[in-house]
Structure 1
Amino acid sequence: MLKTLQTIVVAGALLFAGQCFAVDMTGKVVEVLDGDTLTFESNDGRLFRVRLKEVDAPEPGQTFGRQATQFVETLLKGKSVRVKISSVDRYDRAIAVLILPDGRVLNRELVSHGLAWHYRVHFPVDPALRALEYQAWKQNAGLWVDPSVVPPWEFRREKGARKPPPADPSAMDYNGIFDYGLIGNPDTKLFLWPDCQGYPEDSRGFAVFGSELHAQKSGFKQSPGCSRPES
């Protein structure tokens, strides 16, 4: 196990050091850790810890977390797949799109079946994933059957703390939950998004908001020259 982990870290470090941000490899998945993270072995024997790009599946302790993992295991079992790596994150995970033998994209399959969120961390976002997620939401597919569903990034931050569900499911702030990284300076009472000038590298001590409306109701105003990223 130690050797395997070392191989994964070394492979990730080499990928990063070489600035290889458009790597296309064929191989097999040897381990599924959860719905969006897996271990991939290339045909030349290299191991990579892969984090699926632009999707965030429910955590193992969340509703539909186990289903998401099983869904991925079933799709990948015994199959040769392609991974298209675009970057490496700070945890040495290869951020990638995974393509199945029949051409389907695992990232999109998870979202379309309601087993993962479209993780809109960076802009511009993938319009295909956005459309698939919207359709899954409209059809109450998978995790969307629960109007008070907690996004996995909030689950990780709040250890599963849930907000009271709205009286009417249609009242859910569907757009507001995607304001990733929206924070407020408690001294100036101004809020800003990650792309705004003056966004701190260390946001400890700042207020964290789920939406612009949330920030405004908390007494914060938009920082001058800072606008919401277009999605």
Structure 2
Amino acid sequence: MRNSSFLLIFLILSVMQFTCGYSVSGKVIAVKDGDTIEILQDNKPYRLRLDGVDCPEKNQAFGQKAKEFTSSLCFGYTVRAEISENDKYGRFISRVYLPSGRILNEELLKAGYAWHYKEYNKERRLADMEDQARYKKIGLWADKDPVPPWNFRKNINSSDKPVSAAGGNFVGSANSSKFHTLSCEWGKKISKNNQVFFKTKEEAIKQGYKPCKSCKP
């Protein structure tokens, strides 16, 4: 009877772990983009998708900046992740605590490198953080007309045409620091998956890109 009771308690606790959330701690070994990181705990990798926020895609304006910001806060450090669920890609939806006690999800919103992902998260606190960054015009909010990443993904998936159709006049690569005119031979060599488009030269420079010496945009 006692063994049966212990087994029942174990099963209940196991179910609670996956329905009520649980936490893991590990060293950040990779930053995939602004809102996705990978940690290692006991030689087991966990790919974490930050809960409640959505950063620009890597080939979208401010995508590289968001990734760099996330990396500056957590890469190589041990963090704690409060996991709520898994998404359809097998990632762990998490609230990530930095060594300082700050929450990575919130820091991205405060710095203006993420949108509050209202479709999946209804926290008023996160919405307020986005509003404050928008009011201060910091990060991606410095752009006059920032495109939400969910709309950007929708446009990419619905068309085989390059993102320039959305209004970009200059192109750069997510893997380099140069930007080009759309007719530049070097710009044409950039893989579609790495293309980053800018409406103006000022926008490209603001995001850390430098003019190509060949096409001189």
Q: Which residue in the other structure is 2:36 paired with?
A: 37
Q: Which gives a bigger RCO, structure 1 or 2 (Cα 8 Å, sep 6+)?
A: 2
* 1:140 matched to 2:137: yes
Q: Residue 115 of structure 1: CA displacement?
A: 0.3
Q: What is the aligned-residue RMSD (CA, Å)?
A: 2.1
Contact preservation (8 Å) 1:23, 1:85: yes
Higher helix share: 2
Q: Residue 114 of structure 1: CA displacement?
A: 0.5
Contact preservation (8 Å) 1:49, 1:93: yes
Alignment of 1:17-56 (within 5 A): 19=18, 21-42=20-41, 44-56=42-54
1:13-62 deviation digits (Å, cap 9, x = unpaired): xx99x7354111111111101000111112x2221111100100000111
In the superposition, the TM-score normalised over structure 2's length comes to 0.63
| Structure showing greater Rg | 2
Higher strand share: 2
Q: Which residue in the other structure is 2:151 paired with?
A: 154
1:197-218 deviation digits (Å, cap 9, x = unpaired): xxxxxxxxxxxxxxxxxxxxxx
| Partner AA of 2:111 in structure 1 | H
Contact preservation (8 Å) 1:31, 1:38: yes
Q: Which residue in the other structure is 1:116 paired with?
A: 114
- Aligned identity (percent) is 40
In the superposition, the TM-score normalised over structure 1's length comes to 0.59
Give 5+ residue unaligned stretches, structure 2: 1-13, 157-162, 169-217
Q: Which residue in the other structure is 2:96 paired with?
A: 98
Runs of 4+ with deviation above 6 angstroms: none
Give 5+ residue unaligned stretches, structure 1: 1-14, 165-231
Which of 81, 84, 87 is the equivalent residue of 2:82? 84
